[in-house]
Every structure is written in C-alpha cells, then in structure tokens.
Copies of this chain bind each other. A is one copy, B any other.
Amino acid sequence: MAAALSWRPAGDADWRIVPMTDTGNDRWSASFPIERVGRYEFTVEAWLDEFGKFQYELSKKHAAGVDLKLELQEGQALVRQAAKLPRRRALKDLEKQLRAASADQQRILLLAPETARMMAQADARPFAVRLRSPVPVDAERVGAGFASWYELFPRSQSPTPGRHGTFDDVIARLPAIRDMGFDVLYFPPIHPIGKTNRKGRNNTLTPGPDDPGSPYAIGSEDGGHDAIERQLGTLEDFRRLSDAARGHGMELALDFAIQCSPDHPWLRQHPDWFIWRPDGTIRYAENPPKRYEDIVNVAFYAEGALPSLWVALRDVVLFWVEQGVRIFRVDNPHTKPFPFWEWMISDIRARYPDVIFLAEAFTRPKVMYRLAKVGFSQSYTYFTWRNTAREMREYLTELTTTAPRDFFRPHFFVNTPDINPEFLHASGRPGFLRRAALAATLSGLWGVYNGFELCESKSLNGREEYLDSEKYEIRAWDHDRPGNIIAEIRRLNHIRRTNPALHSHLGVTFLPCSNDQVLCFAKATEDHDNVVICVISFDPVNIQDFSFEVPASVLGLPAGQTVSGQSFVADDLMGDGTSSWQPGWRQARLDPAYMPFALWRLRSIEG
C-alpha cells in the first residue's frame, strides 16, 4: 500500500503532496508546515502500490540468494506497461535499457530510487480510496491559546466617585493594568442602553432616574450594536483607546451580545427578525430562575431573518473588526444556532484570520465542545465550580486526555460579573490566591474581572451574584485596597510569560501526593525544555503538610535514571531561592496565611 497527504492553504488552486510513512500497526503519518494564520485543508489518499511491492520482494529475494529470472521479467513487464502512457519518454528509455542489460544490471535498475520515482509518477493508483471531503484546519495566532485577560466596565473607571467613566478614564488605567501583566483588556457591551424595562441597582425592576441600566440591554434611540453609549465617548475616542492599549502591549476585546433592548432600532426597522406575541409584544429573555425583562431576542429562523439578520449580525462584527478589534467574547452562543456560528466565524476569519472568538457558554459539555468544533477559538469552562483538588484533577484529565484535547481551548476565568464564586465568599485572601494560581498555571488562557485582585467578594443574599453589581450601577473602585493580591498576580503573569510550559492547558501531569487537600502537578513543554512544578493547597485556613513525588519522567528522562544519581535544580518562582532536588518523594508545607501555593522551575543537571 502507498498513501499520500495532499494539503493547501484554503483558496490556493494547487494541492501540495507529501508521501505518507507507515509507522506500524496500520498507522500512517505525514506532516505539512503551517506558515501563516488562517485556514488550511488536507486530504489523504491510499492505493495499491504494485511497483513498490515488486521492489520490496525483489530486494528480499536477492538478499536470500533466490534465482530472480522470473522476477526480472515481471519487473520489465511492469515498466513496459507504465511506459505505454503518453509522455513517458524516460520510462521508454528505461525499458530499452532494461532489454539490453545483464541480469545484474536489470536488478540494479529495477531497484533504483529513480525508477521508483518514475514508476510512482506513472502509477494509475489502483484501488485508490480517499477521504470523503478535505479536512479543514484552522491555524490561529498564538493569542488564541495563550493570553491573560482583564475585564472591566469602562463606565466605572472615573476617578471621581459617582461620575460616568469614559474611554479616556480607561486610558488612564492602562498602565496599572499592564503592570499586572495582562495583555487583553475586555469590556462588556459599550453600546447605547435601552430605557424600556431598564434594570435598577441589584437587578431590581424599579430603576432610579440616574440608574444607567445593564449594558447587555443593547440599543436605544441613539443606535444599536454599531453605536457607542454617548457617555463613554465617541468612535474616535474608542479608536484612541484602542491605539493606547496597543501602545502598552495590550489589545481590546469586545462583547458580542446579540440580544436587544426593546428600544433597539432593529425592532422598528426589521420587525420580521422577531417573533411577536398575540398582544404585539416580544417575549423577554429568560434563563430560569434568571429573567432579563430588559432584553428581547432576535429569531434566527423567523420568516424574514434569513439571510438579512444573519448578514446584519456578521456586519456588526465586521464593523468592529474594521475599528481594529480582533477579539470578541460572545455572550451565550449556545442559545443561538450552530449553523449561524459556523458560517459567521468562517466568513469573518476568511477575511481577518487573526480574529478570535471566545464562547461564553456555560452549558452541557457536548454543546460546549460543539461550539469549539464549529469555530470558537476558546471557551469559558466549569473551572468556576471545581472546588476540590480531586475535581480539578478530573476536569483537567478530561480536557487534556479525551477528544476535546484536539479542538477545545479552555479559558479559566477566576470570576466574572455574573459569577461571584461561592467559595470566595468566605475563603478570604488565601482563596483568591489559590484561585489565581490554579487558573494561571493550569490554563494557557486565564481571566480576571475587576475587583478580584482586590479580593472583592460581597454577594447578593449569599448567592453567586455580586452585591451592587456593576451590571446595574456605576462603581468606584479603591484600587489600593489593603490586602489586595496585585503583586501576586503581577508575579504569576510574569511567571506565565517566561515559562512556555504554562502557555497551554496541555502538558500537565498530576503528581502522586499524600494529602487530598493539595493539588500537585507538573507542566512541561513537549520537548521538556521547560518544566514547572506546582503545589496548591485547597485549604484556605489550615497549614497543610504533605509529601509529593517528582519522578524523573517529568523532565523527559527515562524512569531508570531516577536511581543513577540524577538530580534537579529547582528555582523557586514565587520566592527567589534555588535548591537541589533528587527525583522521588519530597516533603513540603503550605501555610495559607503566607502563601497557599508554590511553584518551581525544574532543570536537570548531570548527577
């Protein structure tokens, strides 16, 4: 059998072809280079390789000293047959050469690599089978897999309490955010906010006259998804902010939330994009027990929606892409049709292959994985609710060893405006440190929502919601709050940048550990050039003593070397010391009052 891989950058007319290699046990392998961001495609073909089989048997029989008379005649017949095709002058020449040659010369000619090459070109590929259709491969930029996000509400960034913040206020905050080591700055929607059914503070239905409403109630008489809330600034101001962020080595991410306030211009301009109830209203959004009285949803399959609504939504994204935005956090994509996302994302990425879409989908696993398959670069995850070492280990094992490993990139947010994790309500500072360490080390993508670095955890009635949530009011943040963890986050982001092992959730190995309250793992790059050991305590109160095993294999060394005097150098990444480790079990202690985790970079030296 022979097999070949054909590949091309999408849009190219010509396929490039690479022979595949039999790697044993009916597996075949080939690779092709990814030289630019964007879509590629490949296909695979396999066929019966008659001349290859002939060469294989001829050389084996020659080695065994068998009489080759018949084989040489059969080889000549194969060449004669192939030479009959038009434009096969070289094969015709070979045929003549063979006729005139001695048996030894015939054998040498028939086994020559050049003969194999010519015969392969003339091969009719009998019994060829190929993939039903080419397989697409999306090549994305590094930021699709490795980035540190910071989320804030621009309207809360005014230094003057009670004043509506502006894009210029955000510009003033950029140095502090960049100083914490973040590279993506993400805003909830920045569009005009509707007045009908506007929400008051703490999600009440009785807003005061100055309450700004939820930015997710998009659209008013001032415009819809391509407009900017006038109190934040102009499009010009937005572009200036975007440039300033870039100047600090950061980029902006915007929210793509498809819902509309009842005041959105689309309701008048495109009534056929909505489903109207018998009383002339539109059903407001619900996600029991949550109700979004200030929001209505478009209907993707309403009679007037195809294709105009789909195109309009695509054009909203395109509009912001043309303003320089390359990252979109998509609100609740799982409540919209998969075919829409598949079409929209591939349309956008065909034009701008550096665009990244993050799926804010908290739903059943198969749906989250499907969103990744149809085009999302990243996804929110269940990280939020994995509160024991064992749960975390099991979740990471699913993400790194089962099918999603190949297509699903997890984004670990430590908190969001919607999720004030219950665990943090009472854990105090050690809980925030633990959570930051877990997200920053276990995932290539992690995110912090403004307030986490200040250990903000006040909840609304003990629920998973923030008290006085910025979703419904303007907050003024005390950025120098005592007991904050800004320095630790800065350190974590620095460690992430300088250790490639932390640039992905892959490459994790959980280490045997004597204590259920402690998660011990190694992260390593594929070549084991960079190895980080992490031990993280899940107990926010008590000191935990434990022992854990560091096998030689985490450095890519064969297990046998553990007994041959091999030793490691361990650089303490959160502290500053360096120590010498032996492979095997070692003692450790984590004191939450001081630091609930420790990280070491491990290097091997000859023993």
Give A contacts to B, CB under 8 Å. Answer: 25-26, 60, 70, 73-74, 77, 126-127, 277-279, 281, 288, 301, 364-367
Contact = CB atoms under 8 A, between A and B. Distances in A.
B278 A70 contact: yes
A44 B184 CA distance: 45
A278 B367 contact: no
A77 B279 CA distance: 13
Contacts of A25: 364-366
A39 B20 CA distance: 38
Contacts of A73: 277-279
Contact of A278 (B74, B278, B365): B74
> Shortest 4 CB-CB distances between A and B: which pairs?
A73-B278, A26-B366, A70-B277, A26-B364
A74 B278 CA distance: 7
A283 to B, nearest CB: 8
Nearest to A27: B366
Where chain A touches its partner, the secondary structure class is loop
A26 B366 CA distance: 7
Contact of A70 (B26, B279, B301): B279
B77 A278 contact: yes
A293 to B, nearest CB: 13
5 contacts: A25-B365, A70-B277, A73-B278, A73-B279, A74-B277
A77 B278 CA distance: 9
Contacts of A364: 25-26
A481 to B, nearest CB: 41
Nearest to A275: B74
A331 to B, nearest CB: 22
Contacts of A26: 364-367
A70 B277 CA distance: 7
Contacts of A126: 301
Nearest to A364: B26
Contacts of A277: 70, 73-74
Contacts of A127: 301
Contacts of A281: 70
Nearest to A26: B366
A70 B126 CA distance: 66
Contacts of A367: 26
A83 to B, nearest CB: 17
A334 to B, nearest CB: 12
Contacts of A279: 70, 73
A74 B26 CA distance: 58
A483 to B, nearest CB: 41
A73 B280 CA distance: 12
A109 B124 CA distance: 69
A366 B22 CA distance: 14
Given A26-B366, A26-B367, 6 more contacts: A26-B364, A26-B365, A70-B278, A73-B279, A77-B278, A127-B301
A242 to B, nearest CB: 39
A60 to B, nearest CB: 8
Contacts of A366: 25-26
Contacts of A288: 60
A70 to B, nearest CB: 5
A364 B26 CA distance: 8
Contacts of A74: 277-278
A338 to B, nearest CB: 11
A277 B73 CA distance: 9
A278 B74 CA distance: 7
Contacts of A365: 25-26
Greatest chain B CB density within 10 A among A74, A126, A278 is at A278
Contacts of A278: 70, 73-74, 77
A250 B367 CA distance: 54
A56 to B, nearest CB: 11
A111 to B, nearest CB: 19
A278 B126 CA distance: 22
